Amino acid sequence: MKFYVTTPIYYVNDRPHIGHVYTTTIADIAARYHRLCGDDVFFLTGTDEHAAKVVDSARERGLTPQQWADQNAAVFQETFRKLGISNDDFIRTSQDRHKTKVQQYVGELLKSGDVYLGEYEGWYDAGQEEYVPENKAKEYEYKSPINGKPLVRKTEKNYFFRLSKYADTLLQKMEAEPKFVQPEVRRNEVMNRIREGLNDVPISRTGAGEWGIQVPGDPGHVIYVWVDALINYLSTVDTDERRQWWPADVHLMAKDILWFHAVIWPALLLALKRELPRQVYAHGFWIAEGQKMSKSLGNFIELEKIDRYVAEYGLDAFRYFLAAYGPLGANDSDFAEAKFVSVYNSELANDLGNLVNRSLTMIQRYRGGMVPRAAAEDLRAECERASAAYRAAMDALDLSGALEAVRALVVRANRYVEETAPFKLAKQPEQATRLDTVLYNLAETSRWLGVMIAPVMPQIAENIRAQLGLSARVGRIGEELRWGGLAAGGRLGALAPLFPRKI
């Protein structure tokens, strides 16, 4: 099977912060999981560069828009590299490979009549670069709901996309395929808004100068940045070598930009007669220490802070926290340092780390580092139950559910240590076979845990495998998650705690 996962392409004017890092990490975890399943994975992220504010910011710095975009796109790329993101490509909308495709598609739509020249007057949110419908503008008291600046009245000759034509098809699709837009609450919001009616939408602006992609055959008009941006998902794979990836299996983003992905984008694809993505998934927001992150409060969890967490607790622990406690569902999540540290100490250091460490240390001490043979499969059913729950959750992108299943297995295995008391068995020579069995069950369970956490904590997974004396690479998940994969008679590697405890 193929699996194509995308993140939004981020505004190149912004500095990366926890929001961008979160969506990209979630996508990374999904990509790594599907690779483990043996799927052919294509994972795309990138930068959205043709916003008008890029021109302003560049000018303030005495740079060309391209120079400014180059600098900032490099920051995003470097950030994702540092955070171990395994994307297969990084699309920048200022690249020729993208621009030519955008012109090609818009050209097709002009020809088919789904894009036409008309006139538009409305309330414009300059910060967001979008028109706000009259009823919304009133509700917002004619101010931007994002930055509070007054909306401006604007008239333009514009190219329009015949969005109205696709309202029924989209609604039918959403009714017939409940998984198309997720989570459920978001799906309902989108459907209700479509039911209110869809107007055609402007897809070009005038007088934008040289920055942006021109409407084919009309140099006075530049394609609206949102249409340009959405097309990245298709333009990147619309080549002879990559065409097999389309349609995307899941477009990931936060709820702020769901409308574009659940309505405008599928409608554009319908008009282009292309297949629709299988799923559009909109998660919630991270807030910081109980407060909404905003420019005015200056409380974004930015790179510097993320770097500090990573340096202190390890990248994998940071990824674990994002995955286990992030806003993947309908609700927002709070990133509080105290909570992160407490999760690190309890779930990672105390529970998982301690389980693996004490299990393997006992094999070292009582069996000279050689994996003993088991006479019974005490923890097999527990492992199988946990992995079934884990896989069902991962398949549904329920990362916290998957990690809950992992945690339950860790708790069970730690209890097994207390119940079987191997440290006591070790003192009774007649219990040697029983001790072998207990130690094997613990080591084998550690191996299962190493496999299951691999998409979320790839370094820790390798570390567990090295300590078990196994090769770093995890094989296909279906084969790895089979009881008995750890061979008796094998030698453990060097042991070390997985998560040094922090105060």
Among 52, 293, 457, 498, binds ligand MSP (CB under 6 A): 293
The residue among 98, 97, 89 whose CA lies nearest residue 4 is 89
Q: Which is nearer to ligand MSP, 120 or 281 (CB)?
A: 281
Interface with ligand MSP, residue 23, by CB under 6 A? yes
Interface with ligand MSP, residue 92, by CB under 6 A? no
Interface with ligand MSP, residue 85, by CB under 6 A? no
Among 19, 372, 422, 458, binds ligand MSP (CB under 6 A): 19
Q: Give the number of residues in contact with ligand MSP, rule: CB under 6 A.
A: 19
Among 5, 9, 36, 399, binds ligand MSP (CB under 6 A): 9
Interface with ligand MSP, residue 229, by CB under 6 A? yes
Rounded (10°) CA dihedral 113, 118, 124, 129: 40
> Residues 258 to 287: which contact ligand MSP by CB under 6 A?
285-286
Interface with ligand MSP, residue 309, by CB under 6 A? no
* β-bridge pairing 152-161 and 201-202: antiparallel
Q: Which is nearer to ligand MSP, 303 or 362 (CB)?
A: 303
Q: State how far the Cα of 488 lies from the Cα of 500, in Å rounded to an integer.
A: 29
Which residue is closest to ligand MSP by CB?
A: 19
Cα 166–chain centre separation: 29
Q: Measured from the CB of residue 97, what is the shortest distance to ligand MSP in angstroms?
A: 16
For residue 22, give the H/E element and its range: helix 18-36
Q: Measured from the CB of residue 47, what is the shortest distance to ligand MSP in angstroms?
A: 8
Q: Measured from the CB of residue 229, what is the shortest distance to ligand MSP in angstroms?
A: 4
Q: State how far the Cα of 280 lies from the Cα of 24, in Å rounded to an integer.
A: 15
- CA 201, 248, 238, 455 torsion-angle sign: positive
Residue 370 pairs in a beta bridge with 491
Burial 318-349 (b: 16+ CB within 10 A, else e): bbbbbbbbbbbbeeebebeeeebbebbbebbb
The residue among 222, 211, 230, 199 whose CA lies nearest residue 122 is 199
Interface with ligand MSP, residue 212, by CB under 6 A? no
Q: Measured from the CB of residue 254, what is the shortest distance to ligand MSP in angstroms?
A: 3
Q: Which is nearer to ligand MSP, 16 or 455 (CB)?
A: 16
Q: State how far the Cα of 444 lies from the Cα of 29, in Å rounded to an integer.
A: 24
CB 43 within 8 A of CB 90: no
Residues contacting 408, CB < 8 A, separation 6+: 386, 389
**Stretch of residues binding ligand MSP (CB under 6 A), selected from 6-14, 136-144, 165-173, 364-372:** 6-14
Q: Which is nearer to ligand MSP, 48 or 378 (CB)?
A: 48
Q: Measured from the CB of residue 23, what is the shortest distance to ligand MSP in angstroms?
A: 3
Q: Which is nearer to ligand MSP, 286 or 390 (CB)?
A: 286
Among 201, 230, 438, 439, binds ligand MSP (CB under 6 A): 230
List residues binding ligand MSP (CB under 6 A).
8-11, 14, 19-20, 22-23, 48, 229-230, 253-254, 256-257, 285-286, 293
